[in-house]
Every structure is written in C-alpha cells, then in structure tokens.
Amino acid sequence: MNDDVGIDKGNYCLIIHMLSDSKIKIGAKGFMSFKSGYYVYVGSALNSLSKRIERHVSDKKKKHWHVDYLLLNNNTIIEEVIYTYCSKKIECDISNKINKCTDDYIEVFGCSDCNCSSHLYYFDSYDDALKSSIEAYKKIGYKPYSWFN
C-alpha cells in the first residue's frame, strides 16, 4: 500500500447528497443545474488534510473553490468523506478511476489546474457513489479511510 499514515497530507472524495434539483451560481462559471442524487467531489490537501476536510464539512467558510459554492447551499449535505494519507497529489488518478464508473459528470468542475474532464461526478445512489470512491483508491494502491459528517 502506498499510504503515509501519520502525515496530515492526502486526497479525499466528498460524497455529497443533492436533496432536490437545483440551479446554483458557481462563482465565475455562473448558474449551473444540478439534479437530485449523489455527487462525488475529488480533491487534495497536501498541507493539512484534516483542516481541509473540517473546512469542507463546516458551514462557516468563504467561497473559494467551485465546491464551496455547491456546499454553501441549503440543498446539499456531505454524507461521508473517503480519504487517504498521501504525500503526493493523486486526485487526478482517483478522478480518472471514478470517471470509469459513470459517464455523468459536471464538466470542468474543480479541475481548472489539471487536464481532467471533471472532479465532480454524479450517481443515482449513495451506495454507487461510495463504492466508486473506495474502489478508486484501491485500484491505484491506496487504503481508503472514512470520515462521517
């Protein structure tokens, strides 16, 4: 396993429940439509993984990343965070594995600093979203951990 347990660096997947269809303003991207269901957002935190996850699950934050606009809306709940300890940025590897589990994603969301199609993927069910996240880590040789909100 490529796991650096003990360091506070890593990569994560937010399992986000969109309670009903919504149109949300996502910064400079403008208004975007989101259907009800479950979304997996893939990110990394190579400075402080625990603080990044705590920030994401908090309602007290400034809108900085695309995902902040999605999360600071009364229609979303982070159900779970799947993460791994890692001293390198593997979010694109994780994203590419999740992309193979669904062809439904929000184009160019959360990936302005890479060549991925997206870092936000849609699933009809919580179980499918969770399974795709866990399997993505395993397929690239990392141990997934769970943080319930």
**How confident is the chain (149 residues) per 10-residue block, as mean pLDDT?**
77 97 92 96 94 92 89 93 94 95 89 86 97 97 88
First to last CA, the chain: 26
Q: What is the pTM of this model?
A: 0.94
What was the pLDDT predicted at 8? Answer: 93
Residue 91 near residue 119 (C-beta atoms within 8 A): yes
Structure tokens at 18: 């969109």
- Decide: helix, strand or coil at residue 76: strand
Radius of gyration of the chain (CA): 14
Three-state secondary-structure class, residue 77 = strand
The pLDDT value recorded for residue 2 is 66
What ranges do the domains of the chain cover?
A: 10-148
pLDDT at 147: 87
Question: Does residue 78 contact residue 14 with C-beta atoms inside 8 Å?
Answer: yes
Distance CA 149, CA 32 (A): 25
Q: So what's the pLDDT on residue 28? A: 87
Distance from the Cα of residue 141 to its chain's centroid: 19
Using DSSP bridges, classify how beta strands 145-148 and 76-85 pair: parallel, antiparallel or unpaired.
antiparallel
